[in-house]
């Protein structure tokens, strides 16, 4: 594991500990690596009006964009499930795809072990901003 991946994984685990999830009690943490090496984190933020819940990955993306980042290389995602690697929900896959298909995705277990995959593997044949380009 490179130091950068180690840090990304550790930051997503820390972010999970900040999750606001009183309804599901299912904490999720995400950490995004920007092209210039910054790491932006997110956790899920639930709401009494359940449908207003925002996932960890999307919280991280919103934060990153507000902080001026639009180019990303990787995301690490974690939850409390110990015995298998868990991927981002479909909505989050689409939101990540808005910022390119070249993301490395580290599906991270609570002990810090991870499976490396990619966004294009997680969301094949995706609808992307390129499809909206006039031709």
Name the residues annotated as catalytic: 57
3-state secondary structure of 54: strand
In degrees rounded to 5, what are phi and psi of residue 105? -120, 125
Q: Tell me how many degrees the CA angle 117-123-129 measures, rounded to the nearest 5.
A: 120
Assess 46 for contact with ligand THU (CB under 6 A). Answer: yes
Site residues (CB under 6 A) for ligand THU, limited to 77-106: 88-89, 92
Those residues whose C-beta lies under 8 Å from the C-beta of residue 15, and which sit 6 or more positions away, are: 29, 30, 31, 41, 42, 43, 56, 60
Assess 34 for contact with ligand THU (CB under 6 A). Answer: no
Window contacting ligand THU (CB under 6 A); options: 9-17, 24-32, 109-117, 121-129: 24-32
Site residues (CB under 6 A) for ligand THU, limited to 52-81: 53, 55-57
Q: Taking the complex as a whole, how short is the minimal distance between the CB of residue 5 and ligand THU, in angstroms?
A: 20
Number of residues that this document lists for the chain: 135
Q: Which is nearer to ligand THU, 37 or 40 (CB)?
A: 40
């Amino acid at each position: 594991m490179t130091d950068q991946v180690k840090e990304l994984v550790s930051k997503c685990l820390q972010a999970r500990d900040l999750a606001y999830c009183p309804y599901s009690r299912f904490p999720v943490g995400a950490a995004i690596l920007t092209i210039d090496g910054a790491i932006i984190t997110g956790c899920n933020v639930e709401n009494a009006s359940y449908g207003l819940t925002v996932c960890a990955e999307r919280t991280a993306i919103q934060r990153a964009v507000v902080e001026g980042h639009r180019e990303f290389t990787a995301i690490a995602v974690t939850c409390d499930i110990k015995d298998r690697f868990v991927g981002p929900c479909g909505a989050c896959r689409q939101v990540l795809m808005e910022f390119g298909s070249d993301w490395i995705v580290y599906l991270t277990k609570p002990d810090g072990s991870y499976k490396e995959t990619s966004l294009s593997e997680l969301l094949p044949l995706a609808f992307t901003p390129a499809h909206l380009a006039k031709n």
